Structure 1
Amino acid sequence: MTFSRPAHWILLLSSLWLGPWAAAAPQSLFDVYLQAKQNDPQLAAAGHGNLAAQELIEQAKAGYRPNVALSASTTANHTDLKYNTANVPLPAGVNRFEGYAAKVEARQPIYRKENLERIDLSKVQVSVTDKQLHLTQQQLMLRTTQAYFDVLQAQDRIELLAAQKQAIQQQLQQAKASFEAGITTVTDLHEAQARYDLIVAQEIAAENEQAVAQHSLQAIIGNPPQTLAKVRDDLQITPALKPMQDWQTVTAASNLNIQIQQAQIEISDRNISIAQSGHYPTLDAVASYTDSHYNGSQNRFGTDLQNAVIGVELNVPIYLGGAVDSRIRQAAYNKQKAQDDLENVHRQTMLETQRAYLGLSSSIAQIKALEQALQSSQSQLDATKLGYEVGIRTSVDLLNARQQHFSAKRDLLQARYNYLVSIIRLKTASGIINEADLQDIDQQLTKR
């Protein structure tokens, strides 16, 4: 085949202009997740919170480092001195003089139990924020997965409704023609019209659901979602799951919510030790140097002073009004609260694992059942079409068969999405989710 010169240039320019769009592959789940890692505000907030928490250790260590302070002052004085008795050998009257003073003081803590405990406390607090950051990353994987498949599910619903609408519209036109020819009754016409109107209303609702799903995904990734890779028709289903007890054992050992709450109990123990340190003495090494100069005084004598001091300072608390004992009791109650919170978190986490496990098991069974139901509904639809053509089935029978067939398609697609999301949900609940799991999900998606 040969092309004229103008046609050749048109094809070339068209390929250059459409090339980037034509070659662009649909975004996979992992592609979308990488965008979420860059743009999700929840993950960004957790990251900055973690950086802020890292400073707690340095702040705690500062309590055992030397403190050096410089103070200085300058003064101008005006005095008017009068004596109430006679024969005072010192001069009276108005006197003006100026002066300055400067002091450098250094203090090195030698023993402060509270400061030592605060160093240990800060390390536990930092470990908590590390776990919280990791937990936020895990939750981002689940949120992204859920939002991704919500968009696909909304798109599928619109496509199914469009196909169903087209089929019903054709049947409606046939019903109108048959009614006008006197072959069928007005009942068939009204039934087809009612089904058509219902589909139109469902389309409006589906378009709204799609917009909400797209905005939800955009809130995570920061940009409007592009074309998303769909689930393959030959979806690979896990043949069998490990027993629920095995998943619960993994959850107890790996779930970050449980680990965070366990760390809160350790923090409570540190706070008890900090409160108890109020009964302990403190010992500091202190040194100071003072330099002052005044060109006069009330007695008209000027002074120059240089003074150096070095020593140790011991402070032994004897009675502080009961505040220390009160803080100890408060810290002990807070530990009991942390233990109760741990039990609550443990139960809720186990419940979430059970729900995720049952959800995954249910979706596996549903997929198998709905695949069979789809085949059966297709056979029923084919038989009903044939019966309608030969006059032994009514228009209502055909409408019902179409409805059942499209419902089976919709339910099967939803079960497939639920299956993939449930995999991520179960691994998130058990605390073992990682990016490789999202890449495994990508293997179940179309590449074009």
Structure 2
Amino acid sequence: MAFRYSRQLLTALLLGCGSAEAAMGPFDVYEQALRNDPVFLGAVKERDAGLENRLIGRAGLLPRLSYNYNKGRNNSQATLPDGRGGNYHDDRNYNSYGSTFTLQQPLFDYEAYANYRKGVAQALFADESFRDKSQALLVRVLTYYTEALFAQDQIDIARAKKNAFEQQFQQNRHLFEQGEGTRTDILEAESRYELAIAEEIQALDEQDAALRELGALLGVRSVDIADLAPLNEDFAAFTLTPANYDTWHELAITNNPTLASQRQAVEIARQEVARNRAGHLPTVTAYASSRQQESDSGNTYNQRYDTNTIGIEVSMPLYAGGGVSASTRQASRAMEQAEYELEGKTRETLIELRRQFSACLSGVSKLRAYQKALASAEALVVSTKHSILGGERVNLDALNAEQQLYSTRRDLARARYDYLMAWTKLHYYAGNLRDTDLAKVDEAFGRAQR
């Protein structure tokens, strides 16, 4: 308990000191999430529990040693012939005793072998499932991180819009009072200002939700946006390696942990079919026993036996009411279901893989286009203001130019975060997303405070 308290205190101190020291990047958040995220910590225990299935299955193939001991007090009455054609009664009060060591080794037990193969598949399933959840944690960290930063970008943009539209509103009102403007100009500026307020409120709500999600990963109530390193202004797209989709396709088929775990689920179902079919097969077991007994029955009254036995036991099932056949058919249907689920999951994964691959390719062009559009929008604002002074443009043109500028800034920010997420998810669906990949993404975020 003391260790847990110290760990939470350390995490809180790290977050609380963010304003005084360097801000956290995605990799810093990931390292803390490894120690505090309950979903991931639960996955660790789930994996550890699943790995035990290999040993559980193997146990059915190994020797089994048992010991049985009994000692009792007996009150018995024996009726015996008296030799003259009659009977007499003999009351016997005696102690009985029995002690037996038994060693058994399966020689042929197909059910035990199927259970072993099933246990191996279950252990592999647990391992692949854990690998999937480990990579999913990377995706969750970056998702909440970028959502919080994008919300901050929206907040900054909304506040800049508020300032610009407020200045426009004051200017239009002054002109109206001087008899040079119109009431419509005032209303247009006021409407844009109120919309900017609504956008700021929505962005604040979205940021609060994202920060709380990050806090849940770290085991704290919430995270301050100032603790997060912002995306570098000069962020550029990564080089996509490999560059062709077919290679990514093969990577996903081979390495995707979700597909790998689903294949193990099919193998588990296949071994369950084999286990049920074993109900029709014989079992052969070698055994050895050492037994000591004294007066363990009426026939051995006042007699002691020391018996050592070694032999082979064969058991052959003959009829079980049709239950074995029904169970085998049921297991076969479950295996077919698992095979269909594997096919469905494969198609779903490859669709997402292709979507993220295309997003990475198009993201490069989108970033370049938005950067050019931003430069044009900034020039348009300046040009429009000059045109208004020259009488060539009107107030609405200035508002539209400002709106276009801020929309372009927002779209550029969104495109940057979308590209980072697409690059990350592409590696996730290919099954090769590692902490080194997050470290590469981490380099795109500066450590300077806001």
Q: TM-score, normalised by structure 2?
A: 0.85
Deviation of 1:128 (Å): 1.7
Superposed, 1:57-206 pairs within 5 Å as: 57-77=54-74, 88-91=86-89, 99-206=96-203
Matched residue, 1:225: 223
Deviation of 1:353 (Å): 0.8
| Structure 2 CA distance for aligned equivalents of residues 414 and 428 of structure 1 | 21
Post-superposition Cα deviations, 1:149-184, rounded to whole Å, max 9, x if no partner, equal 011000111011111111112222222322233332
Name which of structure 1's ranges 94-103 and 331-340 shifts more when overlaid on structure 2: 94-103
SS of 1:108's equivalent in the other structure is strand
| Structure 1 CA distance for aligned equivalents of residues 184 and 259 of structure 2 | 63
SS of 1:432's equivalent in the other structure is coil
Superposed, 1:36-435 pairs within 5 Å as: 36-77=33-74, 88-91=86-89, 99-223=96-220, 224-226=222-224, 227-238=227-238, 242-293=243-294, 303-310=302-309, 311-435=311-435
Name which of structure 1's ranges 323-332 and 401-410 shifts more when overlaid on structure 2: 323-332
| Structure 2 CA distance for aligned equivalents of residues 315 and 81 of structure 1 | 37
| Structure 2 CA distance for aligned equivalents of residues 272 and 443 of structure 1 | 51
**Change over 3 Å in CA distance of 1:368–1:134 after alignment to 2:** same
SS of 1:90's equivalent in the other structure is strand
| Structure 2 CA distance for aligned equivalents of residues 416 and 139 of structure 1 | 21
Deviation of 1:413 (Å): 0.8
Matched residue, 1:33: 30
Q: TM-score, normalised by structure 1?
A: 0.85
Q: Is contact 2:249–2:353 with CA below 8 Å preserved after alignment?
A: yes
Deviation of 1:188 (Å): 1.8
Cα root mean square deviation, aligned = 3.0
**Change over 3 Å in CA distance of 1:233–1:293 after alignment to 2:** same
Partner amino acid, structure 1, of 2:232: R
Q: Is contact 2:57–2:120 with CA below 8 Å preserved after alignment?
A: no
Gaps of 5+ in 1: 1-18
Superposed, 1:428-447 pairs within 5 Å as: 428-447=428-447
Q: Is contact 1:289–1:306 with CA below 8 Å preserved after alignment?
A: no
| Structure 2 CA distance for aligned equivalents of residues 129 and 21 of structure 1 | 37
Partner amino acid, structure 1, of 2:223: P
Partner amino acid, structure 1, of 2:279: G
Partner amino acid, structure 1, of 2:38: P
| Structure 1 CA distance for aligned equivalents of residues 53 and 73 of structure 2 | 44
Q: Is contact 2:57–2:115 with CA below 8 Å preserved after alignment?
A: yes
Q: Is contact 2:51–2:127 with CA below 8 Å preserved after alignment?
A: no
Deviation of 1:201 (Å): 1.8
Deviation of 1:350 (Å): 1.0
Post-superposition Cα deviations, 1:272-310, rounded to whole Å, max 9, x if no partner, equal 332333333222233444445569x999x9524334241
